[in-house]
Chains A and B, each alone.
Chain A
Amino acid sequence: MADLRRTPLFSLHMSLGARMVAFAGWEMPVQYPMGVLNEHLHTRAHAGLFDVSHMGQVILRGPEVAQALEALVPADVAGLAEGRQRYGLFTTPEGGVLDDLMFANKGDHLYLVVNAACAEADIAHLRGLQARGIEVEVVTDRALLALQGPEAEAVLARLVPGVVAMKFMDVAEFDWAGVTLWVSRSGYTGEDGFEISVPKAQAEALARALLDQPEVAPIGLGARDSLRLEAGMPLYGHDMDAATTPGAAGLGWSIPKVRRLGGARAGGFPGAETVLAELVAGPARVRQGLRPEGRAPIREGVAIFDAPEGGVQIGTVCSGGFGPSVGAPVAMAILPAHQAPGDTVWAELRGKRLPARVSPLPFHQPGYRR
Chain B
Amino acid sequence: MLKYTEDHEWLKQEGDEIVVGITAHASEQLGDVVFIELPEVGREVEAGEEIVVIESVKAASDIVVPVAGVITAVNEALPDSPGAVNDDPAGAWFFRIRPAAVDLSGFMDEAAYKALIG
Q: Does A305 contact B (CB under 8 A)?
A: no
Taking a contact as CB atoms under 8 Å apart, the answer to whether A322 and B53 are in contact is no
Q: Does B109 contact A (CB under 8 A)?
A: no
CA distance A71 to B34 in the complex (A): 46
Q: Does A158 contact B (CB under 8 A)?
A: no
* Residues of A contacting B: mostly: mixed
Q: Does B99 contact A (CB under 8 A)?
A: no
Residues on the B chain within 8 Å of A30, using CB: 58
Residue of B nearest to A322 (CB): B34
Contact of A222 among B34, B57, B60, B83 (CB under 8 A): B57
Residue of B nearest to A223 (CB): B57
Q: Mark A290-307, 1 if CB is under 8 A from B, else 0.
A: 000001110100000000
CA distance A30 to B37 in the complex (A): 26
Q: Mark A267-305, 1 if CB is under 8 A from B, else 0.
A: 000000000000000000000000000011101000000
B14 to chain A, nearest CB (A): 29
Taking a contact as CB atoms under 8 Å apart, the answer to whether A295 and B31 are in contact is no
Taking a contact as CB atoms under 8 Å apart, the answer to whether B31 and A322 are in contact is no
A 30-69 contacts with B by CB, 8 A: 30-31, 35-38, 40
Taking a contact as CB atoms under 8 Å apart, the answer to whether B37 and A296 are in contact is yes
Residues on the A chain within 8 Å of B35, using CB: 295-297, 322, 329
B2 to chain A, nearest CB (A): 25
Q: List 20 A-B contacts (CB under 8 A).
A: A30-B58, A31-B31, A35-B86, A36-B31, A36-B57, A37-B32, A37-B57, A37-B83, A295-B35, A296-B35, A296-B53, A296-B55, A297-B34, A297-B35, A297-B55, A299-B59, A299-B60, A322-B34, A322-B35, A329-B35
Question: 5 smallest A-B Cβ distances: which pairs?
Answer: A37-B32, A322-B34, A36-B57, A295-B35, A296-B35
Binding site for A on B (CB under 8 A): 31-32, 34-35, 37, 53, 55, 57-60, 79, 83, 86
